[in-house]
Every structure is written in C-alpha cells, then in structure tokens.
C-alpha cells in the first residue's frame, strides 16, 4: 500500500512469502529509510535469536495479563512456525538485514513492548475472563464459520479485515491495546519521518493487521 513517499508492506510473521515480498519491495524501491514494526528490545532479541525468557520480574513490567498473553502468543507463534518450517519474525529480520547490507537507515516505529503489555493488563475483568474462556474452548466463541488458509502465505486483505473486525467486536480492550494504540504510535512515527524527509522514500514493514489503518492515520497526521 502506497501513499506519497511511503510504501507499507503488510506481512504475516510466519509466512514464507512475506519474506520474499519484503526483500523484493526493498530492493526494487531502493528506499532511504526502512521502517519496521519493532522496538529496541524486540530487535535485539530477533537479531540475537534469543528465545523469550520468562521470569517473575516480567510480570512487574508487563502486568499479569500482559505477561500471560505474551507467553501464549510466543508459544503459538513458535508452534505454528515449526509446523510450516518458518521462524517467526523472519520477515522483520530480513528487512533489517537488507537495510544494513545496503546502508539504508532503519527506523524502529513500534511502541515499547512493555507499554503494550502494560496496557493489555488494564483491560476489564469481564474481557479477561472472556478471553480465558475462549482460550480454553479453542476460541469457539468467535468462530462463526470454518475458514481455511495457507499459513505459508500472507492472508488476504479481506481475511485480515474480517479478523480485525471480529477481534474488535469481541475484545475491544484487547484490540485497543494490541492494535489501535500501536497503529497510532506507528503512524505518528511514519508521519514524522515523512514530514522531515519529504524526498526520502520509505518502506515500512508491519503486520498485515496494521497496514490499512496505519496508512489512513499517517495521512491524517501529515
């Protein structure tokens, strides 16, 4: 998705074709800036290939709900990645490595993970209980139809829009903490770069669920 000097690539963190799309976009666009959906801590973990280390100290920083969600999400990403032979986050790592190899500036545009997880801990008790119940039941509470798609490929925009709509309807607090708050942060970061460097080409690599809203918000912030 393109707007002005900004090109946003929506990816799946475990899809092999996302890696190819990111590589092709950066090499063809030859941007002055590569922006990625990472903060400093996640970038370090990705480049060092460290596995998440869970400790009681993390609960103090993230809050109990944030810590539990982080642990579950990390586990699921690793399991799905192992299932299809992919490394979660490889498309982000590829974007950073290509930028480094071609001496392209890198912008880390996501808000710190600790803030996201802390915000997640503030969702209502009712929503937390609903989330736990759905996790136990295998998310049967939000599955109104059987949907099959290839995990090795980035999901279609139609699927992403539908999934985001369902997430927002069933878990509004979760959606705000994980999606909309981060969309605003990333869009503001991109808009700032676009204002300061109107002649610079920017390629932003973000999860597919963030792509459309980030572009819309970036337009509004310019």
Report pLDDT digits (tens) over 62-87.
Answer: 566 666 666 666 655 555 445 434 46
Residue written as token pair 């001496």: 103
Between 188 and 13, the more confident residue is 188
| DSSP string across 35-83 | EES--HHHHHHHHHTPPP---HHHHHHH-HHHHHHHHHHHHHHHHHHHH
**What are 13-63's pLDDT values in tens digits?**
777 889 999 999 999 999 999 999 999 988 988 888 766 555 565 556 556
Mean pLDDT of 119-133: 83
């Amino acid at each position: 998705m393109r707007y002005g000097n900004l090109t946003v690539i929506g990816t799946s963190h475990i899809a092999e074709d996302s890696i190819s799309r990111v590589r092709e976009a950066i090499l063809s666009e030859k941007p002055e800036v590569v922006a990625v959906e990472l903060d400093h801590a996640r970038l370090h973990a990705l480049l060092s290939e460290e596995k998440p280390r869970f400790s009681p100290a993390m609960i103090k920083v993230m809050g109990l709900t944030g810590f539990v969600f982080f642990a579950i999400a990390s586990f699921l990403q690793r399991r799905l990645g192992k299932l299809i032979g992919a490394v979660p986050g490889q498309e982000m790592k590829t974007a950073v490595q290509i930028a480094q190899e071609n001496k392209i500036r890198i912008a880390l545009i996501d808000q710190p993970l600790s803030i996201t997880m802390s915000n997640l801990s503030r969702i209502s008790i009712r929503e937390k209980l609903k989330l736990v119940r759905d996790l136990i039941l295998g998310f049967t509470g939000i599955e109104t139809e059987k949907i099959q798609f290839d995990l090795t490929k980035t999901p279609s925009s139609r699927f992403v829009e539908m999934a985001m709509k369902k997430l927002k309807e069933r878990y509004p607090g979760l959606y705000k903490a994980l999606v909309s708050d981060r969309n605003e942060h990333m869009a503001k970061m991109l808009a700032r770069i676009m204002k300061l460097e109107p002649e610079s080409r920017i390629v932003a690599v973000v999860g597919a669920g963030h792509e459309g809203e980030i572009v819309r918000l970036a337009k509004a912030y310019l």
